[in-house]
Structure 1
């Protein structure tokens, strides 16, 4: 007979995974849906599939790190304490949402587990230190890589990936044979096809990277308790993510409700590629990566790189209007066409990116992305310190 408390724990874990699916489908496939490359239903199906692949392959490394290695004695993960940890993860993320700041699920989950470990005197400080170091280093890497791309390569990338929509559908079914065969519609141009494949592929990459890191946030406490095996936990978490993608994620797909998908399409692709690559790399090391923090710093880096093309760094920081720097020599691409000089982009678009460096806005984002995990850590510590749940 299944213990009722275990059922409660599984339901809470699946609820966390359900919200992960709802929150991450928009950033992953928002650009593709917004460009009419795929439908919301196809986006949800791809999200569920690639999230599960990422969770089943690389994600188990992060589950092991959080569920067994972060604490010296996995015995602290009783059913009661596991449910409480998941509760603090949800409460802390709710605070971030109320302030309109995208909080890190991974940092919040680690914070709650660290609070449990501190209260029980079983936190592995070496493992916690390794995770913390990568949390500092990875956003810096994302910032500088995106800055270089924004300053030196963005204009050319924008020409390459821009989707020029044709009047007809992308594909059509050829019913002349025994079986219908999908073929390109006669009005579809090559640029449109390449751009569509690129945007959808980036969405699949983001879904995969989300699975590698975020599955642990939902199931690691239960796996660490020994009450739920790794494979069933990943399957249940994957199912819950898929349900979230097919239901509550439809609204986020409609509104493009994330910092990444509100960017121009080319910028969204750059940010998603850089962030996903870093998250997958860290997940392979077993490090619970923060996609939100890395993506935020990547957005700032990309905007900084684009904004400092026509203006000086102090002018970009202050977002004040100034006379653009003139560049006499124009670059020439492979086809002999003149490229804009470094910094020559749409002045209104560049002005918008410069506003990313508003000190007040940046300070609020950075502050809340540290406060939310701190809430989970302190709340879990005080609870497990004074309430005997393990």
Structure 2
């Protein structure tokens, strides 16, 4: 019976990894695929490689946190408890996906394990407090860093890195020899190649950051109980992520995944860079971070920064003296359009803050991203407390 449950646990862990691959490939490589820089297959391949690198290196620290440090006695990770925890993780994430909101895998996993720890009286409250503290601080940091960029540097960055795609293929292959050789397309410019290189690099960085934080969500309980060697678990989880990237990940790439990749290309690069950097830093100190929430707050911060940029313009229409006004993006979001200098915008063309991000949608996303982990936490606690089979 225990062997059967172990196989069930491994299957559920792979299912969690499969969904991680499907949900994170779009945000990581959506801009690159949308710009025609790489194909969906190449995006899935890069996702698989860099996720594994992140998991094999920094990801081990997060596995240790969830598998051994979050609870004071790893004996509570029985095979029955592990299967239950993984089912709560998968079930709660399914609820979030059904609601159309990308839930936090890390918060859901920590919540399910914490529910087990509280029910068994073995939760390490110090470690839990550190994790929750960083969950609060990290999105605030993302908001303010992105807000400063949006307020003071976005227009300049957009002029420098906005990508205008030329006609025809970006890269062609010379097949005259034995080995096909890549070459730039007939109309491809150096700036376009440089922009594509930046986009691809940011995608790889996001895939790496996903590996550092998310591998623990699939394998930590099984590793903590000793039922699964950490090296085998990382390989197994990374393979499951790769399968998800090559299958359901293609659909997220088709629609560019979520709000992150529906942003203007410059904004997407900024949000991805800020979010991935914060996640990697937190993973390095063993904190399971939520890329989704950090990225969401980065998007809000960037929009807020652009919406609250102020300057003094003469109201030539009414003939009044100069007054401070809120200047949003200072330009169209179309990539490559020339941005007007500060003060040259027409007052009637200045967007309001709610035109840069939707407050009601933002509220729904933030609420659901907290409700889904809460469901996993409360559900796990009630199950482990009142179901006699666990004996807590």
TM-score by length of 2: 0.88
Question: Cα distance 1:347–1:49, how it changes in 2: closer, same or farther (>3 A)?
Answer: farther
Q: Please say if residues 310 and 342 of structure 1, whose CA atoms lie closer than 8 Å, have aligned partners that are also in contact.
A: no
Question: Cα distance 1:103–1:180, how it changes in 2: closer, same or farther (>3 A)?
Answer: closer
Aligned-pair distance for 1:158? 1.2
Aligned-pair distance for 1:181? 2.9
Question: Cα distance 1:126–1:339, how it changes in 2: closer, same or farther (>3 A)?
Answer: same
Q: Please say if residues 5 and 83 of structure 2, whose CA atoms lie closer than 8 Å, have aligned partners that are also in contact.
A: no
Aligned pair count reads: 371
Partner of 2:276: 276
Question: Cα distance 1:162–1:123, how it changes in 2: closer, same or farther (>3 A)?
Answer: same
- 1:348 and 1:285 map into 2 onto residues whose CA distance is 46
Partner of 1:30: 30
SS of equivalent to 2:289: coil
- 1:251 and 1:347 map into 2 onto residues whose CA distance is 39
Q: Please say if residues 59 and 283 of structure 1, whose CA atoms lie closer than 8 Å, have aligned partners that are also in contact.
A: yes
- 1:273 and 1:324 map into 2 onto residues whose CA distance is 32
Question: Cα distance 1:349–1:173, how it changes in 2: closer, same or farther (>3 A)?
Answer: farther
SS of equivalent to 1:183: strand
Matching of residues 126-275 of structure 1 within 5 Å:
126-174=126-174, 179-275=179-275
Aligned-pair distance for 1:255? 1.1
Partner of 1:320: none
- 1:373 and 1:217 map into 2 onto residues whose CA distance is 12
Which runs of 5 or more structure 2 residues have no equivalent in the other structure? 313-322, 331-337
Partner of 2:13: 13
Partner of 1:114: 114
- 1:346 and 1:247 map into 2 onto residues whose CA distance is 48
Aligned-pair distance for 1:311? 8.4
- 2:372 and 2:290 map into 1 onto residues whose CA distance is 13
Aligned-pair distance for 1:352? 7.4
Aligned-pair distance for 1:169? 2.2
Instruction: Give CA-to-partner distance per residue, 1:170-228, whole Å, 9 cap, x none.
Output: 22334566644323234210111011111111111100000000000000011011000
User: Greater CA deviation, 58-67 or 257-266?
Assistant: 257-266
Instruction: Give CA-to-partner distance per residue, 1:72-118, whole Å, 9 cap, x none.
Output: 00011111101100111112112222332221110010000000000
- 2:62 and 2:370 map into 1 onto residues whose CA distance is 21
SS of equivalent to 1:295: helix
TM-score by length of 1: 0.89
SS of equivalent to 2:182: strand
Question: Cα distance 1:188–1:123, how it changes in 2: closer, same or farther (>3 A)?
Answer: same
Partner of 1:341: 342
Q: Please say if residues 310 and 343 of structure 1, whose CA atoms lie closer than 8 Å, have aligned partners that are also in contact.
A: no
Instruction: Give CA-to-partner distance per residue, 1:116-145, whole Å, 9 cap, x none.
Output: 000000000000000011000000000000
Question: Cα distance 1:342–1:367, how it changes in 2: closer, same or farther (>3 A)?
Answer: farther
Instruction: Give CA-to-partner distance per residue, 1:334-375, whole Å, 9 cap, x none.
Output: xxx9962179599879447645262x4333322222211111
- 2:55 and 2:292 map into 1 onto residues whose CA distance is 18
- 1:381 and 1:110 map into 2 onto residues whose CA distance is 12
Question: Cα distance 1:4–1:344, how it changes in 2: closer, same or farther (>3 A)?
Answer: farther
